[in-house]
Amino acid sequence: MLRGLRQPFRTGVLLLVWTWLLALVLAPNLLVIGASFLTRDPGTFLSLPVTLENYRNLLDPLYLEVFLHSLYMASITTLVCLLIGYPFAWALSRVAKDRQLLLIFLLIVPFWTNSLVRTYALKLLMATNGLINTGLMELGLIDGPLRMLYTEGAVIVGLVYLLLPFMILPLYSVFDDLRRELLMASHDLGAGRFRTFIHVVIPLTLPGVLAGVMLVLLPAMGLFFVPDILGGSRNLLVGNVIKNQFLDARNWPFGAAAAIMLTLAMALLLFTHRLSQRRLGEEGDV
């Protein structure tokens, strides 16, 4: 009797959840994988025959250049985020606990606010008649306006500005777990500050670094609106290519192939991350 009452609820819940995820997560993803092996068709978007042409086209020098340039900008973005974020996370973990909460809150506020609006705010600062140029000219430091907007640098600044919190948060969590006794032990054993940093701090914070890299590097290649607003037509990201193929050129198979390359890159990073975590785990719980 009791079980009879229990089952419909359970069945209903599971049915709803499975239906949603299968229809709106699994099916669309399989569709994209399938599309990447099909041929472009102006009418129905996709048609036979099955082909590897789309993946071959990714190696076309024209696109290859865009992908490599995109990877380059994303890598610089990740590096800058790491260089800013690493000392930041360390400093944050040393602040008194009650103040840490407020500081972390201040860090996630930007994450909650519209990223488009924040990118636009950067444009206000960097435009030819923007605040930085006007200010510098009024101070007499420069004669004419500097060209900041529509450069590679502008795109990187935009990406760093949007993605920095994603680097800092995982780094903060590893620094927060870093036990001070370990540093003292290293000191007692005669290691200097530099050796302690190389042999103790870096290995222990490595999982945080990898997690941060994962959360910055790939999203940095997809945020197509950043180059649209700050970068002009020469500093495109993979995201811009995918968007153009799907919305303008209507070449789904090629867009799908580009998206799958991006997903595979993500999977590779995740795999490395898992592997490194397992290795660190095996080295003994320190």
Partner 1 sequence: MTRWLPRAYLALVYLALYIPIAVLVVFSFNDGRTGYRWGGFTWRWYEALFTNDAMMQALWNSLWLAVSAATLSTLIGALTALALHRYRFRGKKALKGMLFVVMMSPEIVLAISLLSLFLLVGVQLGYFSLLLAHVTFCLPFVVITVMARLSGFDESLPEAARDLGASDFTMTRTVLLPVIMPALLAGWLLGFTLSLDDVVVSTFVSGPGYEILPLRIYSMVRVGLKPEVNALGSLLLVFSLLMLVLSQWILMRSKR
DSSP string, 141-174: S-SS----TTSHHHHHHHHHHHHHHHHHHHHHHH
We find the least distance from the C-beta atom of residue 267 to partner 1, in angstroms, to be: 9
What CA–CA distance (Å, rounded) separates 205 from 210? 9
What CA–CA distance (Å, rounded) separates 102 from 88? 15
We find the least distance from the C-beta atom of residue 19 to partner 1, in angstroms, to be: 10
Q: Which of 124, 123, 146 has the alpha carbon at shortest distance from 133?
A: 146
We find the least distance from the C-beta atom of residue 120 to partner 1, in angstroms, to be: 5
Q: In degrees, to the nearest 5, what angle opens at C-alpha 284 toward C-alphas 194 and 191?
A: 20
Contact 197, 183 (CB under 8 A): no
Nearer to partner 1, 74 or 204 (CB): 74
CA distances from 29 to 24, 34, 108, 242, 263 (A): 8, 9, 30, 15, 10
We find the least distance from the C-beta atom of residue 283 to partner 1, in angstroms, to be: 26
Nearer to partner 1, 89 or 209 (CB): 89
Nearer to partner 1, 206 or 261 (CB): 261
We find the least distance from the C-beta atom of residue 204 to partner 1, in angstroms, to be: 19
We find the least distance from the C-beta atom of residue 133 to partner 1, in angstroms, to be: 9
Nearer to partner 1, 52 or 270 (CB): 270
What CA–CA distance (Å, rounded) separates 187 from 196? 7
Nearer to partner 1, 14 or 142 (CB): 14
Contact 252, 232 (CB under 8 A): no
Nearer to partner 1, 32 or 76 (CB): 32
Distance of CA 253 to the CA centre of its chain: 24
